[in-house]
Amino acid sequence: MREVSDEILDHYFSVTDRAMDKVKIAVAKNSHLRKIAEDFLDMAKNYRSDAEYFREKGDYVRALGAVYYAHAWLDAGARLGLFDVGDDHELFTLAK
């Protein structure tokens, strides 16, 4: 398959949006890790916004790449313990 369809984009936007809704910063406000957690979350939001921009412009390949990056920032933050995502092994690759 060499094309990115609306269905594929819809799926990955939905997965990323569900992950974004689930993420809660897990580190204390006075922790030196707080700024890192906030940065990870900001990066995810920015890439999600970029994905929407590319989709609106018809650049589905870049939209898919950006939405993947958005989820990757969330996933990395969850795996590092910066985010509380419960025990959600469906949306996140959590350490065992």
For the chain, give every domain's residue range: 1-9+37-85
> Of 82, 84, 73, whose CA–CA distance to 33 is shortest?
82
pTM as predicted: 0.93
pLDDT tens digits, one per residue of 31-50: 999 999 999 999 999 999 99
Q: What is the average per-residue pLDDT within 60-87?
A: 96
CATH architecture of 1-9+37-85: Up-down Bundle (1.20)
Contact call for residues 23 and 81 (beta carbons, < 8 A): no
